Structure 1
């Protein structure tokens, strides 16, 4: 069992290393657009549905408002989006894409796809990896809920 305690046998370390490599890969692509990876995630969320609330974006990309707010502020300053307070409830802020984000969508998407293709990941492999990672995430969330229920 001692053999299990080596780094190369740790799933968490393999995921950590892979995540680090993906971060580097995306950083090289996104720097051409003057974007960070979290900013790219915001754009992905807004490209799916424009005009959603800050809370919805945070839930979608798994970031708290304390982390997300400065990201949105920088993106607004750089012309990617605009924030608008709700007229009905001024505690709510909705985020809308600016023309720059709409115009750059195809270029950004193409650059990211090319980088992924350069990694020699086939579409079948990509889909399998996504399936397995979603299953793993679900199991981890379930284990977290079970352990929280025991407290």
Structure 2
């Protein structure tokens, strides 16, 4: 079934809006679930990367999260004020700042273990459906990243 050209600009036909609406709905669920941990959703994402990867330079952390330093720095400042992370100049490269979990930040991981289960339950999807959706979204992200690179290359040539 094809969509008539006249419907292409309808809001309900936009995949970007469906993703945006789903993202906002996720943020609402996370806001409630993360309240007991004292984290916002973006702070939770930072903690996930640090729990998985260990100490990281700010630049690498930003790459994992797809965030620039202007967005990441205030997040790290708040996490540091909460006693969950420390930021320190790298001994190897003074231009680089390393982010390290504190003991409290490491200990918070135990409490966070219930978060993915609660979020999964909120979706109403089973584990296989969640895995399949995540795989499709990863494919979409890869395709859009490639399209953005191609568009930028064409723009440079123009």
What TM bracket, shorter-length normalisation? Answer: over 0.9
Is 1:61 the equivalent of 2:65? yes
**Aligned match of 2:30:** 26
Q: What CA distance in whole angstroms lies between the structure 1 residues aligned with 2:12 and 2:31?
A: 26
Once residues 30 and 140 of structure 1 are traced to their aligned partners in structure 2, the CA distance between those partners, rounded to angstroms, is 30
> Which residue in the other structure is 1:10 paired with?
14
**Whole-Å Cα distance in 2 between the matches of residues 138 and 118 of structure 1?**
27
- What is the CA-CA distance between 1:72 and the residue it aligns to? 0.7
Asked whether 1:122 is paired with 2:122, we answer: no
Q: Which runs of 4+ in 1 moved over 6 A?
A: none
Partner residue of 2:89 out of 77, 85, 88: 85
| Distance apart, 1:75 and its partner CA | 0.6
Look up the match of 2:78.
74
CA contact (8 A) 1:26 1:112 kept: no
SS at match of 2:92: coil
Shift of residue 118 of structure 1?
A: 3.2
Structure 2 length-normalised TM: 0.90
2: CA distance between counterparts of 1:111 and 1:143?
A: 33
The gaps in structure 2 that reach 5 residues or longer are none
Count of aligned pairs between the two proteins: 151
Structure 1 portions without partners, runs of 5+: none
**Alpha-carbon deviation of 1:111?**
2.9
